[in-house]
């Protein structure tokens, strides 16, 4: 399908569920707003009592309390944010597929011990893989910083100039490699949302296989939403556009996956309803 057909299909699936999808999006942003308010409260409380607290790398990684708070943030992202991202994504898949998302939410709630760890891992592993692929770029960025700014007051040697130029070139090339890798894993979350009992490693492999040859199409699909950026800047509420974008992403993923778009949840819920009572 073309991008126009994908968006028309997503709009048709969204009709009748706009209130629900807006409410889900408001909940998502309310969570991050609450986190931001919590950070502000901590900062103001410490400042009021004259205790040092900041967000500089030297404080976050160089002090005991800074490292403790960083660990708390990482744990919140891994074990609170990631499961909720999975659940919200799954609810949008249900709405897109025309299924009863309340039944799915109930099933996940009653089987949280089995689903939440897998949901956390399915969201966490692609993120870690992307960080691993991205990590070499930090060395080149440091090379640019060191030879371009840290030693700007000294005469630049031939070796320093060579390292500086190599660092710039490597950074640009590796950004392309990283973007290409992220696109390859773009379908992983949908594969795991459709089949929570599947292997996340198999999902990553399948995503890379399905996205092979579709990278340009994926980029053009994403770029087609740039026209909404001025609206977001001036007056268009993000919580109204987010559901539309999410439903379009579901339609795009379904079109790319084809026969691989096989939802395992309905059969699992039906079996659970049969034997849970």
Q: Where are the alpha helices (DSSP H) in 18-157?
A: 18-48, 57-62, 64-76, 82-97, 101-110, 112-134, 136-145
pLDDT at 156: 64
140/218 Cα distance (integer angstroms): 28
pLDDT at 182: 93
265: helix, strand or coil: helix
pLDDT at 23: 86
**In 3D, which of 214, 140, 227 has the Cα closest to residue 175?**
140
Token couple for 127: 């993120």
Q: What is the 3-state secondary structure (H, E, C) of 184-248?
A: HCCCHHHHHHHCCCCCHHHHHHHHHHHHCCCHHHHHHHHHCCHHHHHHHHHCCCHHHHHHHHHHH
Percentages (nearest 5) of helix, strand, coil residues in the chain? 85, 0, 15
Token couple for 139: 């060395």
pLDDT at 202: 92
How many Cα atoms sit within 13 Å of 227 on the Cβ side?
3
Query: What are the mean pLDDT values of the chain's consecutive 10-residue runs (277 residues total)?
Result: 88 86 84 85 83 79 83 83 86 89 86 82 87 88 75 67 84 91 93 88 93 92 86 69 90 92 87 72
Token couple for 180: 């290409």
pTM of the full structure: 0.84
What angle do helix axes 82-97 and 18-48 make, rounded to 10 degrees? 170
pLDDT at 87: 87
**In 3D, which of 1, 5, 6 has the Cα closest to residue 248?**
6
């Amino acid at each position: 399908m073309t991008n126009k057909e994908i968006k028309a299909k997503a709009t048709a699936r969204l009709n009748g569920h706009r209130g629900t999808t807006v409410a889900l999006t408001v909940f998502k942003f309310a969570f991050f707003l609450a986190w931001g308010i919590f950070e502000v409260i901590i900062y103001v409380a410490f400042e009021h009592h004259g205790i040092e607290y900041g967000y500089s790398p030297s404080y976050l990684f160089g002090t005991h309390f800074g490292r403790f708070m960083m660990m708390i943030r990482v744990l919140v992202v891994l074990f609170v944010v990631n499961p909720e991202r999975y659940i919200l994504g799954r609810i949008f898949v249900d709405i897109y597929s025309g299924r009863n998302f309340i039944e799915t939410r109930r099933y996940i709630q009653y089987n949280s011990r089995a689903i939440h760890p897998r949901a956390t891992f399915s969201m966490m592993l692609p993120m870690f893989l992307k960080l691993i692929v991205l990590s070499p770029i930090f060395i080149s960025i440091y090379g640019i910083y060191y030879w371009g700014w840290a030693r700007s007051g000294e005469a630049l040697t031939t070796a320093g100039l060579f390292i500086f130029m190599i660092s710039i070139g490597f950074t640009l090339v590796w950004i392309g490699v990283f973007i290409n890798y992220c696109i390859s894993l773009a379908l992983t979350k949908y594969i795991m949302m459709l089949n929570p009992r599947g292997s996340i490693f198999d999902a990553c492999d399948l995503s890379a296989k399905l996205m092979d040859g579709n990278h340009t199409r994926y980029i053009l699909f994403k770029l087609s939403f740039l026209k909404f950026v001025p609206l977001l800047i001036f007056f268009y509420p993000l919580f109204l556009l987010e559901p539309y974008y999410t439903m379009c992403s579901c339609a795009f993923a379904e079109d790319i996956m084809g026969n691989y778009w096989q939802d395992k949840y309905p059969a699992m819920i039906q079996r659970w309803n049969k034997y849970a009572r």
